[in-house]
Chains A and B, each alone.
Chain A
Amino acid sequence: MSTATVTRATRASRIAMIIAALALIVLALAPWWAGRADLRLMGEIFLYLSLACLWNLMAGYAGLVSVGQQAFVGFGGYMLFALTIFGGLHPIAAILLAGVLAAALSVPVAALIFRLKGAYFAIGTWVVAEVFRLTFAQISALGGGSGTSLPVGIVKSLADGRSAREALSYWLALGAAVTVMACVYLFLRSRRGLALTAIRDSETAAAGLGIDIWRTKLEVYVVTSAFTAVIGGLLFLQKLRISPDAAFSVNDWTAFVIFIVVIGGIGTLEGPIIGTLLFFLLRETLADFGTIYLMVLGAVAIVIMLKAPKGVWGLVRDRYDLELFPLSYRVNTQNKGN
Chain B
Amino acid sequence: MIEWVNAVVQGVLLGGLYALFAAGLSLIFGVMRLVNIAHGDLIILAAYLGLSTTVMLGIHPFVALLIVMPAMAGIGYILQRGLLNQTLGPDILPPLLVTFGLSVILQNALLEGYTADPQKLNAGAIETASLSAGGLTIGVLPLLTFAMAIAVIATLQWVFYATALGRGFRAVSDNQDIAQLMGLNKAHVFGLAMALALAVTAIAGILLGVRTSFDPAIGGGRLIFGFEAVIIGGLGNIWGTLAGGVILGVAQTVGAKIDPGWQVLAGHVAFLIVLAVRPNGLFPRVEH
Known A65-B92, A295-B108; judge A301-B275 contact (CB<8 A).
Answer: no
Known A131-B265, A134-B264; judge A119-B96 contact (CB<8 A).
Answer: yes
Which B residues between 100 and 132 are near A, CB-CB below 8 angstroms? 100-105, 107-109, 111-112
Interface pair B102/A65, CB less than 8 Å apart? no
Which A residues between 278 and 336 are near B, CB-CB below 8 angstroms? 291-292, 294-295, 297-299, 301-302, 305-306, 309
Which of the segments B64-72, B149-157, B220-228 contacts the partner chain?
B220-228
Interface pair B92/A298, CB less than 8 Å apart? no
Interface pair A123/B268, CB less than 8 Å apart? no
A118 to B58 CA separation, bound complex (whole angstroms): 44
Known A120-B35, A134-B265; judge A258-B227 contact (CB<8 A).
Answer: no
Interface residue? A247 (CB, 8 A): no
Closest chain-A Cβ to B251's Cβ sits at a distance in Å of 13
Closest chain-A Cβ to B27's Cβ sits at a distance in Å of 15
Complex partner residue of B272 from A126, A127, A295, CB under 8 angstroms:
A127
Closest chain-B Cβ to A199's Cβ sits at a distance in Å of 13
A309 to B90 CA separation, bound complex (whole angstroms): 14
Interface pair B275/A294, CB less than 8 Å apart? no
Interface pair B108/A123, CB less than 8 Å apart? no
Interface pair B94/A305, CB less than 8 Å apart? yes
Interface pair A135/B265, CB less than 8 Å apart? yes
Complex partner residue of B109 from A130, A137, A295, CB under 8 angstroms:
A295
A298 to B101 CA separation, bound complex (whole angstroms): 5
Known A138-B261, A301-B101; judge A119-B95 contact (CB<8 A).
Answer: yes
A61 to B191 CA separation, bound complex (whole angstroms): 32
Residues of B within 8 A of A177 (CB): none
Interface residue? A115 (CB, 8 A): yes
Name the residue of chain B whose CB is nearest to the CB of A118.
B92
Interface pair A131/B37, CB less than 8 Å apart? no
Interface pair A123/B105, CB less than 8 Å apart? no
Interface residue? A266 (CB, 8 A): yes
Name the residue of chain B whose CB is nearest to the CB of A261.
B97
Interface residue? A226 (CB, 8 A): no
A127 to B144 CA separation, bound complex (whole angstroms): 29
Closest chain-A Cβ to B16's Cβ sits at a distance in Å of 21
Closest chain-A Cβ to B159's Cβ sits at a distance in Å of 24
Complex partner residue of A292 from B112, B223, B227, B268, CB under 8 angstroms:
B112
Contact indicator per residue, chain B 258-288, by CB within 8 Å of chain A (1) or not (0): 0001101100110110011001000000000
Interface residue? A255 (CB, 8 A): yes
Name the residue of chain A whose CB is nearest to the CB of B272.
A112
Closest chain-A Cβ to B90's Cβ sits at a distance in Å of 10
Interface pair A291/B112, CB less than 8 Å apart? yes
Closest chain-B Cβ to A70's Cβ sits at a distance in Å of 11
Known A116-B231, A119-B92, A123-B223; judge A294-B104 contact (CB<8 A).
Answer: yes
Name the residue of chain B whose CB is nearest to the CB of A144.
B261
Residues of B within 8 A of A134 (CB): 261, 264-265, 268
Interface pair B275/A298, CB less than 8 Å apart? no
Name the residue of chain A whose CB is nearest to the CB of B228.
A127
Interface residue? B137 (CB, 8 A): no
Interface residue? B87 (CB, 8 A): yes
Interface pair B93/A67, CB less than 8 Å apart? no
Contact indicator per residue, chain B 216-238, by CB within 8 Å of chain A (1) or not (0): 00001101100110010000000
Known A127-B271, A130-B268, A137-B261; judge A298-B37 contact (CB<8 A).
Answer: no
A113 to B231 CA separation, bound complex (whole angstroms): 12
Closest 6 CB pairs of A and B: A119-B35, A291-B108, A115-B279, A298-B104, A298-B105, A298-B101
Given contacts A122-B35, A127-B227, 13 further A-B pairs with CB under 8 A are: A65-B92, A67-B37, A123-B35, A123-B227, A134-B261, A134-B264, A251-B104, A262-B97, A292-B112, A299-B101, A305-B97, A306-B86, A306-B94
Q: Please name 22 pairs of A and B residues whose Cβ atoms are closer than 8 Å in the assembled complex, sorted by A.
A: A59-B93, A65-B96, A113-B275, A115-B279, A119-B37, A120-B227, A122-B35, A127-B228, A130-B221, A130-B224, A131-B265, A134-B265, A251-B104, A258-B97, A266-B93, A291-B111, A294-B105, A295-B104, A301-B97, A305-B94, A305-B101, A306-B86
